[in-house]
C-alpha cells in the first residue's frame, strides 16, 4: 500500500503515487475494460488520486476514468483534470480564456460522469491571455461548486508567483498546486520551481518521473530504442542522433548500474528519487498496461540512501535537464525569434510547439 501526504495547505491527503491516465484511450491503450482494470487495481493498492486531461485521446481518457469510478468509487478519489490544449477542429476549442474554460469544464464533467472536479489545472501557460482572466473564470467555477481546487502545469517560477499575486490582489481563488516535469534526467525545476512551491505552500505533483520511458529499462546503449508513439510525436526527445539524447543514454547506463548495485530496479530508483525531494507531494505514474502498473507500485516504499543520492547527483548534477526538449514548455521569449529582435515581424505567441502530456 502507498502512503499519503498533505496536498499543500488544503488539508487534503493524497497518495504519494498519482495514477496518470494519459495512456488510456487511442493514444495508448484503447481497451476500455483493460483501462478500468488498471484503475481499479491502483485504487485497491491505496492510490486515491487520478490525473487526466481533456486532450488525452480527445477526451477518451476522461471517459474511461469516468467508467472506472462509476458505481460508488468516485467519492473516495481525488480527481484531477486539465484544460488548455486543442480539443476538436474549431479554433475556439482551446486556450485559457473564460469562454473556453466554461465550455471545457462542462465537457470534462460529462465525460467523467461527475458533478465536481477536485483539481482543475491550467495545462500550459498562455502569455497572450491575461492570467486574471483565467483565474477569474476558475474562481467562478469554485464558487459554483463544479471545482474544488485550482492548479497549474509546467508553469515557470515567475508565472507561479504571478498567480499567487493575482489571487491576493484581485480577490481570486488561489492556485494550490503545480504539475511540472521532473525526473533524474530532467532536474531543471530544482533551481526555482520547487523552492518557489515550498515558499508558497503549493503541492507539487510531477509528471514523467521515468523521463518518458528513458528510465524504464528499455533504453540501452548499443540497442535500438523501443518503437513508441511518443517517440514518433516528439523525435527531439528520443532520436539517438540528437547529442543531448546521446548524453541521456550514457546517463541511463550509469543509473542502471547504480540501481543494480543498490538492489533496485531502474524504475524504482527513478520514482523513489522524485518522491524523496521534500517539495514533492505525489509522483504521477502513467502505466499503459497492468504489468507497467505493477512494476511501479513498489517504488513508493523505497527510500534511497544518502550515498545513492550522491551518486545520482554525480551522474546528473542538481538543477540540470540533459535535453531542453524535456522541459515540457518553451516560453515565446525563447521559441519565437521575433521576441528577441528589434524591427522584426510581430511576435507570434503560438510559435513553438508545446508538448501536451
Residues forming the active site: 56
Q: Which three cell numbers stand for residue 82?
A: 486539465
3-state secondary structure of 71: coil
**Structural Rg of the chain based on CA atoms:** 20
Alpha-carbon gap, residue 112 to 61, rounded angstroms: 9
* 38 exposure class (CB count in 10 Å sphere: 0-12, 13-18, 19+): buried
**Shortest CA distance to 80 belongs to which of 105, 101, 53?**
53
How far CA 181 is from CA of 94, 124, 125, 295, 326, in Å, comes to 22, 12, 14, 21, 8
**Shortest CA distance to 156 belongs to which of 124, 121, 199, 131?**
124
- End-to-end Cα distance, the chain: 27
Q: Is-contact 69 320, C-beta < 8 A?
A: no
| Three-state secondary structure of 93-145 | CCCCCHHHHHHHHHHHHHHHCCCCEEEEEECCCCCCCCHHHHHHHHHHHHHCC
Q: State phi, psi for 111 to the nearest 5 degrees.
A: -65, -35
* % helix, strand, coil for the chain, step of 5: 45, 15, 40
Alpha-carbon gap, residue 3 to 280, rounded angstroms: 13
Q: How many CA atoms, within 13 angstroms, populate the side-chain half-sphere of residue 52?
A: 32
DSSP state of 341: -
Amino acid at each position: 500500500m502507498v502512503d499519503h501526504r498533505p496536498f499543500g495547505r488544503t488539508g487534503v491527503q493524497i497518495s504519494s503515487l498519482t495514477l496518470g491516465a494519459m495512456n488510456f484511450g487511442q493514444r495508448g491503450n484503447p481497451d476500455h475494460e483493460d483501462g478500468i482494470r488498471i484503475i481499479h487495481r491502483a485504487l485497491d493498492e491505496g492510490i486515491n488520486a487520478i490525473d487526466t486531461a481533456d486532450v488525452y485521446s480527445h477526451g477518451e481518457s476522461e471517459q474511461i476514468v469516468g467508467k472506472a469510478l462509476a458505481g460508488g468509487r468516485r467519492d473516495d478519489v481525488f480527481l484531477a483534470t486539465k484544460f488548455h490544449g486543442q480539443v476538436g477542429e474549431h479554433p475556439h476549442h482551446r486556450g485559457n480564456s473564460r469562454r473556453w474554460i466554461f465550455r471545457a469544464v462542462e465537457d470534462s464533467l460529462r465525460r467523467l460522469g461527475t458533478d465536481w472536479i477536485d483539481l482543475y489545472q491550467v495545462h500550459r501557460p498562455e502569455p497572450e491571455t491575461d492570467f486574471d482572466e483565467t483565474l477569474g473564470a476558475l474562481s467562478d467555477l469554485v464558487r459554483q461548486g463544479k471545482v474544488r481546487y485550482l492548479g497549474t502545469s509546467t508553469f515557470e517560477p515567475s508565472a507561479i508567483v504571478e498567480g499567487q499575486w493575482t489571487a491576493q490582489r484581485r480577490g481570486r481563488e488561489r492556485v494550490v498546486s503545480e504539475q511540472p516535469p521532473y525526473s533524474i534526467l530532467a532536474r531543471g525545476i530544482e533551481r526555482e520551481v520547487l523552492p518557489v512551491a515550498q515558499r508558497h505552500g503549493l503541492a507539487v505533483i510531477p509528471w514523467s518521473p521515468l523521463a518518458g520511458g528513458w528510465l524504464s529499462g528499455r533504453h540501452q546503449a548499443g540497442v535500438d530504442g523501443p518503437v513508441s508513439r511518443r517517440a514518433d510525436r516528439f523525435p527531439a526527445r528520443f532520436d539517438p542522433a540528437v547529442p543531448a539524447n546521446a548524453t541521456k543514454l550514457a546517463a541511463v547506463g550509469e543509473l542502471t548500474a547504480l540501481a543494480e548495485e543498490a538492489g533496485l530496479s531502474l524504475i524504482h530508483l527513478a520514482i523513489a528519487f522524485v518522491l524523496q525531494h521534500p517539495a514533492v507531494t505525489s509522483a504521477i505514474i502513467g502505466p499503459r498496461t497492468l504489468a507497467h502498473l505493477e512494476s511501479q507500485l513498489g517504488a513508493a516504499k523505497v527510500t534511497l540512501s544518502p550515498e545513492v543520492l550522491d551518486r545520482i547527483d554525480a551522474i546528473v548534477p542538481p538543477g540540470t535537464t540533459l535535453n531542453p526538449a524535456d522541459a515540457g514548455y518553451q516560453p515565446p521569449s525563447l521559441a519565437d525569434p521575433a521576441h528577441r529582435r528589434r524591427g522584426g515581424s510581430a511576435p507570434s505567441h503560438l510559435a513553438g510547439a508545446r508538448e501536451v502530456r
